[in-house]
Every structure is written in C-alpha cells, then in structure tokens.
Amino acid sequence: MAILQVLYHPDPRLRIKAAPVPVVDDEVRRLAADMMETMYAAPGIGLAATQVNVHRRLLVVDVSETHDQPLCLINPALLQKEGVERMEEGCLSVPGVFEEVERAERIRVRFQDLEGHTVEQDADDLLAVCIQHEMDHLEGKLFLDYLSPLKRSRITKKLTKAQKQVM
Ligand code: NI
C-alpha cells in the first residue's frame, strides 16, 4: 500500500467530474487500499478518488473512532434522502478550514463493493454527511461551494497564500 498525494484547493483538478468505474478489478482494489491508507494517515474520515487525482467514481469512508469500519463505495448513487442536518465539515483538500454545511440527515445509497457486487445501504448522521460530502467530490464540488461567495473567496485567498509559502 502507499500514501497518495492529496490535491489542495484551489487546484483546478478538484473540479473535474469523475467517470464511472467500468469494472471492479485488482487495480481498483489497490487504489481503494491506497486511498484507505491515505485517509487513515491524514487522519480523515473520508476520501474521494478525485482528491488523489484519479477521476473515477470511487470513495472511501470510515467514521468509526476505532478506524475499523472501512467502507468503499464504487459508482455510488443516492436513492433517497430525508431530513436536514447541519454539521461542521472539514476536508483533506481544504486543510484547516471547518464550516457548517446543511445536508440530508438520512440517505439510502446504492454502490458496488470491492467484489463488484451491487449493495444498497442506509446511512444517517455523520456517515450520511460524510458520504454526501465525498459524493460531491466526484462531481467536482467542494463543501466550500455551499458557503457565501465572500466567505469562499476569503478561504481561497488564505489557502493560496499558505501554499505559496510552503513552495
Ligand atoms: Ni473533502
């Protein structure tokens, strides 16, 4: 396994819409394993392939405190959403920024697992929010897009400046 390089906002590659995963094979399983390792090392609770510059519809999440409930969603589709939840979100691609975002409280999602089987799963609270956040990445969308333009541009300026200092 390997730790992958994560893209940081405002990298334009974070805005690419991901294409479906055509077949769940060893290459996809290896990517998922590397993404898990990258997520745990960060540490984070979710990571979308877009964030590691792979523009395929695949994401990993684990919202457990013990880091032992990994979930990989391939070609995820939202079947149902219900309720409203406001939660403070962060993102490995937007380091150091935490802002409240409104999402559905409960969702039902269909995806393929690492064996290529189609699965339907219900999720609520943090897991539901996390899956919705990661699914947005596959559309080239960031949680910052839900904030006011003024707030977003302030955050973008701050991150751009911070990245210049690192380089
Ligand atoms: Ni994110």
Cα(146) to centroid(ligand 1), Å = 13
Q: Which class would CATH give 12-166?
A: alpha beta
Whether 31 has a pLDDT exceeding 70, the answer reads: yes
Percentage of the chain beyond pLDDT 90 is: 95
Cα(154) to centroid(ligand 1), Å = 18
Q: What pLDDT band is residue 20 in, cutting at 50, 70 and 90?
A: very high
Residues in the chain: 167
Calculate mean pLDDT across residues 54-69.
96
Cα(89) to centroid(ligand 1), Å = 8
Whether 166 has a pLDDT exceeding 80, the answer reads: no
Q: How far apart are CA 48 and CA 38, in angstroms?
A: 11
Active site residues: 134
Cα(27) to centroid(ligand 1), Å = 23
- Phi-psi category of 16—alpha, beta or left, where left has phi over 0 and alpha has psi -120 to 50? beta
Cα(118) to centroid(ligand 1), Å = 24
Q: How far apart are CA 45 and CA 36, in angstroms?
A: 9
Q: What is the DSSP string of 26-91?
A: HHHHHHHHHHHHHHHHTT-SEEEGGGGT--BSEEEE---TTS---EEEEEEEEEEEES-EEEEE--
Q: Is 88 exposed, middle or buried (0-12, 13-18, 19+ CB in 10 A)?
A: exposed
Task: Read off the pTM.
Answer: 0.96
113-122: burial string, b at 16+ Cβ within 10 Å, e else: ebeeeeeebe
Q: What pLDDT does 167 receive? A: 62
Q: What pLDDT does 165 receive? A: 82
Whether 118 has a pLDDT exceeding 90, the answer reads: yes
Q: How far apart are CA 143 and CA 159, in angstroms?
A: 15
Rounded to 5 degrees, what are φ and ψ at 56?
-125, 155
Q: Which residues surround ligand 1, an ion (CB under 5 A)?
A: 91
Whether 151 has a pLDDT exceeding 80, the answer reads: yes
Cα(158) to centroid(ligand 1), Å = 18
Give the Cα-Cα-Cα angle 84, 13, 121 (nearest 5 degrees).
Answer: 35
- Prior bond to 70 cis, omega within 30? no
Whether 163 has a pLDDT exceeding 70, the answer reads: yes
